[in-house]
């Protein structure tokens, strides 16, 4: 790998951990609601992370995104009006949430096997921490049963061992990316994955 590609990977990695890309979620939702074809444009088709992301969006799902986006915009407009929120405070909170969300997404996935069903970790946490994570420490169990509500994951996980501790894995994230030679996972069929639960 060239030096510039290595630098790019480090920038992407720490950008994820610091929540720098989180703002793309609401912007992407807005763009998808306004013009879904934009997401099928060449830059999205070329990027490895998005080549399959929107392939199975039906017209019904696009309508749902549009409805949810309108409700989200109305909610925030009302919240700012009724609660007299300040933009500066909201941007700080938004940045803190982006950091938390981004780190939380990767702590259960980083360095796990490259597998659609088993490519996540079950992480050991204390009872209070588990409640704060809303059972998110059982992420591999969630991958194995994607249609089961997260409140039922501890039941499904009963008798299964944790892979490693949450804080041990969290510290590993901050040591930086590692070169992976493992072949990428095959996509699940677009229909029939419901049988996993």
Asked if 55 and 190 touch (Cβ cutoff 8 Å), the reply is yes
Phi-psi region of 135 (alpha: psi -120 to 50; beta: other; left: phi over 0): left
* pLDDT for 197 beyond 50: no
The string of pLDDT tens digits covering residues 135-192 is 999 999 999 999 999 999 999 988 888 999 999 999 999 999 988 888 877 776 666 5
d(CA 156, CA 184): 27
Across 30-46, b (16+ Cβ under 10 Å) vs e yields eebbeebeebeeeeeee
User: What's the Cα-to-Cα distance from 176 to each of 22, 25, 49, rounded to whole Å?
Assistant: 19, 23, 19
Give the mean model confidence (pLDDT) for residues 99-110.
88
pTM beyond 0.85: the answer is no
pLDDT tens figures, 8-56: 889 989 988 888 888 888 888 888 888 887 777 777 666 655 555 666 6
């Amino acid at each position: 790998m060239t030096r510039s590609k290595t630098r790019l990977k480090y920038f992407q990695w720490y950008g994820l951990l610091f929540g720098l890309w989180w703002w793309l979620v609401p912007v992407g939702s807005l763009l998808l609601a306004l013009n879904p074809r934009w997401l099928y444009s060449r830059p999205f088709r070329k990027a490895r992370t998005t080549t399959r992301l929107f392939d199975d969006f039906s017209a019904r799902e696009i309508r749902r995104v549009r409805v949810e986006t309108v409700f989200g915009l109305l909610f925030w407009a009302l919240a700012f009006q009724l609660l007299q929120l300040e933009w500066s405070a909201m941007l700080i909170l938004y940045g803190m949430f982006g950091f938390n969300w981004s780190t939380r997404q990767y702590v259960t996935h980083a360095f796990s096997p490259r597998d659609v069903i088993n490519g996540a970790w079950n992480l050991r946490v204390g009872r209070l921490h588990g409640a704060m994570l809303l059972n998110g420490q059982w992420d591999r169990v969630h991958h194995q049963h994607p249609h089961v509500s997260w409140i039922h994951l501890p039941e499904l996980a009963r008798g299964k061992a944790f892979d490693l501790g949450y804080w041990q894995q969290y510290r590993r994230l901050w040591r930086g990316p590692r070169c992976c030679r493992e072949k990428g996972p095959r996509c699940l069929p677009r229909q029939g994955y419901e049988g996993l639960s």
